[in-house]
Chains A and B, each alone.
Chain A
Amino acid sequence: DVKVTQSSRYLVKRTGEKVFLECVQDMDHENMFWYRQDPGLGLRLIYFSYDVKMKEKGDIPEGYSVSREKKERFSLILESASTNQTSMYLCASSLSGTGPPEQYFGPGTRLTVT
């Protein structure tokens, strides 16, 4: 089974802190994604990566950056956390190719910024 793990299930940080969210997948997937999930807004794509050291902005990249130094690991960085970044963060991965792009999700990190 594909497994996507995230470093923390719950995280509480203070305004202005630098925050790292880590995601690791074990199925050699090329593509990795970071979403945030908020009530009434569904999933919104922050950043994605289709290869090591490659990254692309999603719909809401402001205030975030990412790093992908190894194929299995994709990190989301909040340079200076703010209260409006309190949310559920979901990491996902998928295989490249001609098949339908199924995504595999981690359990999520619920981040609270106070």
Chain B
Amino acid sequence: GNSVTQMEGPVTLSEEAFLTINCTYTATGYPSLFWYVQYPGEGLQLLLKATKADDKGSNKGFEATYRKETTSFHLEKGSVQVSDSAVYFCAVASGGSYIPTFGRGTSLIVHP
């Protein structure tokens, strides 16, 4: 089956710092890749996605590039804000399945 490995948190940064959250995956076929974000007290919401190799997903200043050769989908943001404090989940879906496999989540804490 598919699997996702995310870096463990929490990741603690100062405002305006550069963010990278690592995600690697194993999957069959041609997977779709996702990043979801969960703000405190809320459910998950889709942040960005990519459906084929070398695609770059982007949203709200966050970016991630689908790297098939390294089976990675690292999340980056050039300048984080306090409001970005949340838990970030990487996910993969493939083989015609509509059920994604989620990583365990990485907590991000941004200090003013």
Contact = CB atoms under 8 A, between A and B. Distances in A.
Contacts, number: 53
Contacts of B97: 101
Contact of B44 (A45, A101, A105): A105
A74 interface: no
Contacts of A43: 44, 89, 102, 105
Given A31-B98, A94-B98, A100 B49 contact: yes
Interface residues of A, number: 23
Interface in A19-37: 31, 33
B: contact size bracket: 20 to 34
Interface in A97-114: 100-108
The 9 closest A-B pairs by CB, nearest first: A105-B43, A42-B104, A100-B32, A101-B98, A105-B44, A43-B102, A107-B43, A101-B93, A108-B43
